[in-house]
Structures are given as C-alpha cells and as structure tokens.
Amino acid sequence: MIFLLIISILAYIQFFDSSPVHDKKKIVTFCGAASKPVMEEAALEFERDYGIEVELHFSGSGTMLSQMKISKTGDLYIPGSHDYMLRAMRDEVVDPDTIEMLAFLVPQIIVQEGNPKNIQSLEDLTKPEIKVGIGDPISVCVGEYAVELLKYNELYESVEPNIVVHAESCSRTAALVTAEQVDAIIGWDVFAKWNPKKTDVVLIKPERIPKIACIPGAISVYSTDKESAQKFLNFLHSEGGQQIFRKYGYLSTIEEARIYAPLASTPEIVKTD
C-alpha cells in the first residue's frame, strides 16, 4: 500500500513538473554583432530578474534580417545601426511603433596595442605597407559605414587596395586587430573597449565623420510573445540596461556622440521631443 502511494505521489509531481504551465518563457532576439557583449550580459541579468530566457543570435545586421524574413521567426530585431532598422521597417519585419534607441556609435580607426605602424590619420591607411580590415559593406553595418566614411573623405580608391579582409560581422571585424591579421580597421569606437589590452583607438577628426550610427531595437511582426519581448526592450532602454551599455563604452545619447562628430548627420529614426 505504501509503495503504491509513493508511486502515485511521484506520478503526480512528474505530471505537474512537465505541464506547460511550468515551462519557462523564452524570446528569440536577432542581433547585429555590434552589441554582442552588452546583449550577452543583459540577457543573463534579464533572465535572472524576470525569469524569461533570451535566446540570442548574432551576425551581420543584414544577415540577421534575412534570416528573420526567411524563417519568419524572432521576437526582437536589434541591428548594429539604424540603416538596417529602416530596411526592416520597409520590409515590414518590425513594428515601427515599438522602436527604441538603445545606444549610439561613432566610427574610428582601431589599431594594435601600441600602434606599431604609427597610424595617425585616415591618410595613413593609404600607405602601401598598411593592411586594413573592414566589415563586409553588403551585410555588415560597420563595413557600410567604413566605405561611406572613406568616400566622404575622397580616400576610398586610395585605401581600397590595402583592404585585405571584409569580415562577416562586427565582432569578427574587431577581432581582425586582436588576431594581428591587419594593422588597422575602421570600426566602431567601442571595439577598443572590447579588447583594451590589445587595441588602441586613433580618433578621426570630428569634421571628417559624416554620420553617427545608433543601435535600435524593435519587436518583430513574427513575435509569438510580444509582452515578453516588450519587457526585454524596456529593460535595455531602462537605467539598468543603459548602465550595461555604458560599461562597455557605448554612448547613451546623441549629444554624447556629437562630441566626437559634431557635423555628422543624425540617424533618421532617432526620436526627438
């Protein structure tokens, strides 16, 4: 009799443990790799505080957008620049009313620690002995910005022969310098904060930067849990989420970004009062 009672209790517990009511909520987020360190830490903190798991996918912003469109999945889209959010809006992949500006980025020259090739300006990237890396301009936002920056300063044709790598994401672009595959990259200012012991920043003259980028986030039209997706987006935009961005060197406001690029154009989707 006791044996049967124990079996009944165990079966009862197993039934409720396997019940969908007890399943942990999970949202899927497609991210440009420009925000990788922040998103990884924020997802862990958010899951700890809210009990909602965040499954992160990272690659070039264009690649992530294509994957969402093909698979028709994903709860959030967080590209590495506003340009790709505009494309997501055009392709009706995100709800434009949910867009939030999460951080701002400025392009700079990132070199190996100690700057062994003594690179001091964009012109130095034209020297024949300098190996340059950029992101793939077709699918990676920072690569697109690099090409635009060089063309704006009438240097693309001179630097292009020295570009030896087109990396497939922001994180892989940043790794080109730390792996000593190139002497310099044109990347986001935060890349040097990702690997401060292996990289240095060479600031581009403010008047030579044509455009500021922002990291936006929005809820996908494919989301199956818009409430949880909104909670994570709110968390990233909250003071707690912004502290994580600042920890890794990201700029919180357009005013901070303008210190480094006062003449640059403002991202089209930045909300203003």
**Mean pLDDT of the region 148-158:** 97
Q: What is the pLDDT of residue 270?
A: 57
Residue 23, pLDDT > 80, answer no
pLDDT band at 10 (very low <50, low <70, confident <90, very high): very low
Mean pLDDT for the stretch of residues 13-24: 50
Six token digits for residue 33: 């790799």
Pairing verdict, β 100-105 and 76-78: unpaired
CATH class in words for 107-208: alpha beta
* pLDDT number for residue 267: 72
At 233, which amino acid appears? L
Residue 272: per-residue pLDDT:
41
State which amino acid sits at residue 12.
Answer: Y
d(CA 137, CA 126): 19
pLDDT digits (tens, 9 = 90+) for 127-146: 999 999 999 999 899 999 99
User: What average pLDDT score do residues 25-49 get?
Assistant: 95
More confident residue, 24 or 93: 93
Q: What is the pLDDT of residue 269?
A: 64
Flag whether pLDDT at 36 surpasses 70: yes
Tell me the per-residue pLDDT of 94-127, one tens digit each, with 9 for 90 and over.
999 999 999 999 999 999 999 999 999 999 999 9
Shared fold status for 24-104+214-258 and 107-208: yes
pLDDT (0 to 100) of residue 265? 85
- CA dist 204 and 19 (Å) reads 57
Residue percentage of the chain with pLDDT more than 90: 79
**What is the DSSP track for the chain?**
-HHHHHHHHHHHHHHHHSSGGGSPPEEEEEEEGGGHHHHHHHHHHHHHHH--EEEEEEE-HHHHHHHHHHHT--SEEE-SSHHHHHHHHHTT-B-GGG-EEEEEE-EEEEEETT-TT---SGGGGGSTT--EEEE-TTT-HHHHHHHHHHHHTT-HHHHGGGEEEEESSHHHHHHHHHTTS-SEEEEETTHHHHSTTTEEEEPPPGGG--B-EEEEEEEBTT-S-HHHHHHHHHHHHSHHHHHHHHHTT-B-SHHHHHTT-TTSBPPTT----
Structure-token match 């970004």, residue found:
257
Structure confidence by residue, pLDDT tens digits, 189-232: 999 888 889 999 999 999 999 999 999 999 999 999 999 999 99
Is residue 9 pLDDT above 60, yes or no?
Answer: no
Q: Which CATH number fits domain 24-104+214-258: 3.40.47.10, 3.40.190.10, 3.40.50.300, 1.10.10.10?
A: 3.40.190.10
Query: Is 224 or 20 the better-scoring residue by pLDDT?
Result: 224
Q: What is the pLDDT of residue 12?
A: 45
Question: Looking at residue 24, what is its pLDDT?
Answer: 81
CA distances from 184 to 115, 140, 162, 173, 204 (A): 9, 17, 10, 10, 13
Q: Is the pLDDT of residue 268 over 60?
A: yes
What are the pLDDT digits (tens) for 231-263? 999 999 999 999 999 999 999 999 999 999 999
Give domain limits for the chain: 24-104+214-258, 107-208
Dist CA 213 CA 34 (whole Å): 11
